[in-house]
Chain A
């Protein structure tokens, strides 16, 4: 059984390795979130917003041309059609209602690609809450449109200038600012990372993805279970949402696409399971890319959302016990897959998402296998990167 235990562990991974200054915040969350999330008032508001604001359920779309090309029944779960352009908003809608019920007045968040930042700024606007987003200085450059979207929505965007100036550093900065403002502030973490209870809480908010896949597939194929599920993994929230209701259905293969950057052995990679070893990052024990001395290695990926040296503890566990297959997709292959999806199905994906699409070329499957790929986000934010790459 894949299930988090009382102390927040999935097998060997998880926990809450946090400075004492954050202990009251984490305790407050841990003690209250399950009860709040289970309450009818929460569920009513959450379901209403997912439906009327986010636009759920998102379609499960049969990709006819790509199915013919690959010789399988390929479906896309269209999270790219969510309001704000990616799955991230499922989580921010859940956490903002929770923050309100906890009496918080301010929201902080980290962001990589800017999708989580935009999704957070959006729900803060919706609820009239003060919002500050921490974002690596490099990511601010490469995801410019999202920076401006956050600002239009009324959020303050603060650059993180340490380290590689990407997602990891933005997360460090957000944690520091939470330590500085522990009482009135809620930290909306954007993926299934961080100290317990964040990984499980975020996974539950994203679990709506697999809940819908089950229903939709039953209608279209007469079975809830695909043969294969594919999702990309940065921290792992869209993958956790896609896998959640299938963790314990062993006949469904789970495939996670990591970012190999310029190649797994190039020294410029973010392929955490391929290169990582057990360690502690951002409050949980997980697999992470590090030196022999335990210093965190700067990752690289062309996609800001996958440019992270760790992985959510649940994925470290899925890897550890062999429940999920991990493939490492290089920058160039992801870009080409993005073009292929654009030209064959009329969908320009986020570059993160393009990694999941390329995984089709890296795994084995049988003719007529049902494959569901989670299209985590759309490519609008990545036009600059597509243009710079230029291979179309």
Chain B
């Protein structure tokens, strides 16, 4: 049983997942950022693997991706940085990244490496479900990695059921029609969508992401799901930080209160 399953068995509410970009703001900030996210009290760490063309991301994460790449970040470098992470990080770790860098690395080598260093799951936004089922599902299972799919307000009920069927970890509910970081605040229409999905009684836990930025939005999202994911708002906090650990602590504590 991997750490994601254990987490959701023990904690069903207000699960907080923090996304950050590997190698940002400085190349060697990856591991210290992870340690600070855990010690501040978040539940899941999502490491963003930087990519030159992140088509599901807004300006904040585009920017952090570009800076990380300029810093010299790569998948190879990331695996070096986190090879001993399990000595200091115990909460679930998920890698989030676009498909192309992973394909160049080699899918199987990538999955094997993830297992070796203690990564628990993957979020690959541009890997479609059918492709996953046809080509990669058995490999994911072989290396004990859970795969998280996204759903959005447009996703049909039938497709949500299929996604639930093939997910094992959690489902990532994109909060609105948007790329990351696009909107703030949660509207009535979004709440109607949260409720609609909540009423479906899915077997997988759900985390709501995109547009979650503070205690209020985290609280609202958590009312209708098992918790939420914060990305852009976190990136903004660390971007110009002079004291990474203190700033990460202050921010995460302000969210979970």
In the complex, A23 Cα to B160 Cα: how many Å? 12
Known: A180-B177, A182-B154, A281-B53. Is A19-B104 also a contact (CB below 8 A)?
no
Determine which of B103, B105, B149, B178 lies in contact with A179 in the assembled complex, contact meaning CB atoms within 8 Å: B178
Q: When the two chains form their complex, are residues B125 and A162 in contact, meaning their CB atoms are under 8 A apart?
A: no
For residue A298, which residue of chain B has the nearest CB? B52
Residues from chain A with a CB closer than 8 A to the CB of B62 are 162
B256 interface contact, C-beta 8 A: no
A35 interface contact, C-beta 8 A: no
Residues from chain A with a CB closer than 8 A to the CB of B177 are 21, 179-183
Q: When the two chains form their complex, are residues B156 and A180 in contact, meaning their CB atoms are under 8 A apart?
A: no
Segment at the B interface, from A214-222, A288-296, A322-330 = A288-296
In the complex, A279 Cα to B127 Cα: how many Å? 13
Segment at the A interface, from B37-45, B94-102, B137-145 = B94-102
A176 interface contact, C-beta 8 A: yes
B151 interface contact, C-beta 8 A: yes
**CB contact list, B46-94 vs A, under 8 A:** 51-58, 62, 66, 69, 74-76
In the complex, A283 Cα to B98 Cα: how many Å? 11
Residues from chain B with a CB closer than 8 A to the CB of A23 are 128, 154-155, 159
Residues from chain B with a CB closer than 8 A to the CB of A183 are 154, 177
B150 interface contact, C-beta 8 A: yes
Residues from chain B with a CB closer than 8 A to the CB of A20 are 125, 128-129, 149-152, 155, 163, 174
Residues from chain B with a CB closer than 8 A to the CB of A293 are 74-76, 101, 104-105
**CB contact list, A161-176 vs B, under 8 A:** 162-163, 168, 172, 175-176
Q: When the two chains form their complex, are residues B56 and A19 in contact, meaning their CB atoms are under 8 A apart?
A: yes
Residues from chain A with a CB closer than 8 A to the CB of B58 are 176
Residues from chain B with a CB closer than 8 A to the CB of A175 are 55
A24 interface contact, C-beta 8 A: yes
Q: When the two chains form their complex, are residues B52 and A163 in contact, meaning their CB atoms are under 8 A apart?
A: yes
In the complex, how many angstroms separate the beta carbon of B1 from the nearest chain A beta carbon?
26
Q: When the two chains form their complex, are residues A280 and B174 in contact, meaning their CB atoms are under 8 A apart?
A: no
Residues from chain B with a CB closer than 8 A to the CB of A162 are 62, 66
Q: When the two chains form their complex, are residues A180 and B179 in contact, meaning their CB atoms are under 8 A apart?
A: yes
In the complex, how many angstroms separate the beta carbon of A286 from the nearest chain B beta carbon?
11
For residue A17, which residue of chain B has the nearest CB? B126
Q: When the two chains form their complex, are residues A290 and B104 in contact, meaning their CB atoms are under 8 A apart?
A: yes
Q: When the two chains form their complex, are residues B182 and A180 in contact, meaning their CB atoms are under 8 A apart?
A: yes
Residues from chain A with a CB closer than 8 A to the CB of B151 are 20
Could you give 27 example pairs across A and B, Cβ below 8 Å? A7-B130, A16-B128, A17-B127, A19-B55, A20-B129, A20-B149, A20-B151, A20-B152, A20-B163, A21-B56, A23-B159, A24-B155, A24-B156, A162-B62, A172-B55, A179-B55, A179-B56, A182-B152, A280-B103, A281-B100, A282-B53, A293-B74, A293-B76, A293-B104, A294-B51, A294-B103, A295-B101
